[in-house]
Amino acid sequence: MLRYAFKRLISLLISLVVASVVIFAVIEVAPGDPASFMLGVNAQEDTLAALRAELGLDVSNAQRYLDWVGGMLVGDFGTSYTYRTPVSQMIADRMWVSLPLALYALILSTLIAFPAGIYAAARRGKPGDLTVMGATQLGIAVPNFWFAMMLVLIFAINLRWFNAGGFAGWNKGLWAGLHSLTLPAIALALPQAAILARVMRSSLLDILGEDFMRTARAKGLTYRQALWRHGVRNALIPVLTILGLQFSFLLAGAIIIEQVFYLPGLGRLVFQAISARDLIVVESVVMLLVFAVITVNFLVDLAYAAVDPRLRSRT
């Protein structure tokens, strides 16, 4: 097991190094000088040179890459070109919006998807099943930004139950914070819920055809009891896998939703940084997301290996 974990760790490190090179190269290759973007069309050459020196842009690319990676190793993500504040501080601030939003959306999508999927599986082929499946089809097809606009139109502009956007801030209290994240979370959650409901349904249908389900009925359980006690529990495994994948999607997929609701989250930070050529911010945030995904995969690999000894021997 240790040997296996060590091997996975080595491949994780290699992935990170490759990712950092690719990210740096791709972002630096795109044309556009951050200094001339910041100083505009009337800037004089000497002013530009002074700013470039101040930003540390006057050294070679290789040197800048090494500085960047070296800094990250000790937790220093550098200083934003435009905001002039430490990138790690900015990321931490934005996380307080993006992470709760992703969690909120995940909980909502679970709350919608589980009952819907179980209900549809239990009524396979009946009108209830067809309605739920039709709704999920729609949920997958509708783009979430459009759906977000519809939510704003109905609940913010007409009914006035919510603000059209913006984030109240956690210092105004838990309720105010959650309130301002509700519409974005719904907009994010619904397409995910639609996918999850379909997975839940098909996974449960597979289980319902298994021999142990027939045995459960034969020993005297009602259909309902068998469904809940043996069916749903076993059907959860693939559903949880999808749920895990969705979380990283929710974190990254919030870019558009954060624009529509003008939330000060990670997605908006990246969006602003890209248009302002704040390269260091873009690179660091992307690197952080890559790190999160690779680490989650690493942990999942270990968990699989712990559960299934065959995986250990094979590698």
The distance in angstroms from the start CA to the end CA of the chain is: 10
- The DSSP H or E segment spanning 76 is none
Interatomic CA distance for residues 309 and 83, integer angstroms: 51
Which residues inside 155-184 make contact with other proteins, applying CB under 8 A? 156-157, 160, 163-167, 169, 172-173, 175
Q: How far is the CB of 170 from other proteins (least distance, A)?
A: 11
Total residues contacting other proteins by CB under 8 A comes to 54
Concatenating the DSSP letter of every residue in 191-224 gives HHHHHHHHHHHHHHHHHHTSHHHHHHHHTT--HH
Interatomic CA distance for residues 57 and 80, integer angstroms: 12
Beta bridge mates, 86: 79
Which residue's CB is nearer to other proteins, number 82 or number 182?
Answer: 82
Q: Judged by CB under 8 A, does residue 96 bind other proteins?
A: no
Contacts of 232 (CB under 8 A, 6+ apart): 118, 204
Which residue's CB is nearer to other proteins, number 191 or number 267?
Answer: 267
Q: How far is the CB of 190 from other proteins (least distance, A)?
A: 18
The contact mask relative to other proteins for 258-287 (x = CB under 8 A, - = no) is -xxxxxxx--xx--x--xxx----------
Which residue's CB is nearer to other proteins, number 82 or number 202?
Answer: 82
Q: What would the two tokens of residue 15 be?
A: 């992935």
Which residue's CB is nearer to other proteins, number 32 or number 220?
Answer: 32
Q: Are 200 and 118 in contact (CB under 8 A)?
A: yes
Q: Give the closest residue to 130 by CA, choosing from 119, 144, 114, 115.
A: 119
Which residues inside 190-249 make contact with other proteins, applying CB under 8 A? none
Which residue's CB is nearer to other proteins, number 45 or number 211?
Answer: 45
Q: How far is the CB of 219 from other proteins (least distance, A)?
A: 48
Q: Give the closest residue to 190 by CA, choosing from 97, 104, 99.
A: 104
Which residues inside 35-54 make contact with other proteins, applying CB under 8 A? 36-44, 46-47, 50-51, 54
Which residue's CB is nearer to other proteins, number 169 or number 309?
Answer: 169
Interatomic CA distance for residues 198 and 236, integer angstroms: 13
Q: Which residues bind other proteins (CB under 8 A)?
A: 30-34, 36-44, 46-47, 50-51, 54, 82-85, 90, 93-94, 149, 152-153, 156-157, 160, 163-167, 169, 172-173, 175, 259-265, 268-269, 272, 275-277
